[in-house]
Structure 1
Amino acid sequence: MKHIALVAMVTGLAAITTAAAQQPVRDVSAKRHPNIAAAQRLVDQAYKRVTAAQQANEFDLGGHAAKAKELLDQANAELKQAAEASNDNHR
């Protein structure tokens, strides 16, 4: 039983470290792309809420929270690409 608790604790710490390393970056100019930058802020907020939910539930969410965070990372990358495409179209 102690072994299971230790494994769970180590797994939780690893997940926290991984979550911190993968937090979405807000790298779109709010001045140039206010709506896209606002969307990035919302992605960041959602990511933080999912992390909080994982911590509150001791990361026992069936892998769904981790998948949601992966999708939020993808959404954030797409937002950055959208801003870059806009920049390319308006040069």
Structure 2
Amino acid sequence: MKRLTLIAMTAGLVLAATATVAQQPVRDVSARRHPNLAAAQRLVDQAYKRVTDAQQANEFDLGGHAAKAKELLDRANAELKQAAEVSNEDHHH
């Protein structure tokens, strides 16, 4: 019975962890129109991949800090996209 409880708890933790996993940042800023913002998105993507590599190398989430860093990188990526959109709007007026 203890083993089934442990398996159920482990499955629950895995589901909870995957529910809050940040998505791989999308490179959706035009490099032609916004070369600096697009370059920043590439760097965010590289950083996200290195954090993932660190998680895999350590075989755990580093106290939740790696997952939090990935969430923040995903948010930073979204902000870069919004900056490009604001720039697009400003140049159309």
**What's the TM-score bracket when you normalise by the shorter of the two chains?**
0.7 to 0.9
| 1:16-39 superposed Cα distances (whole Å, 9 cap, x missing partner) | 7x75x7100000000000000000
Which residue of the partner structure matches residue 25 of structure 2? 24
| 1:41-70 superposed Cα distances (whole Å, 9 cap, x missing partner) | 000000000000001111240000000000
**Is 1:53 the equivalent of 2:77?**
no
CA separation in 2, counterparts of 1:75 and 1:53?
Answer: 20
The structure that has the greater radius of gyration is 2
State the superposition RMSD in angstroms: 2.5
User: Would you identify which runs of 4 or more consecutive aligned residues in structure 1 move more than 4 Å?
Assistant: 13-16
Gaps of 5+ in 2: none
**Is 1:65 the equivalent of 2:62?**
no
Q: Which amino acid aligns with 1:72?
A: L
Q: 3-state DSSP class of the match of 1:63? A: helix
Residue 14 of structure 1: CA displacement? Answer: 8.3
TM-score (norm 1): 0.80
Aligned residues: 86
Distance 1:71 1:60, change over 3 A: closer
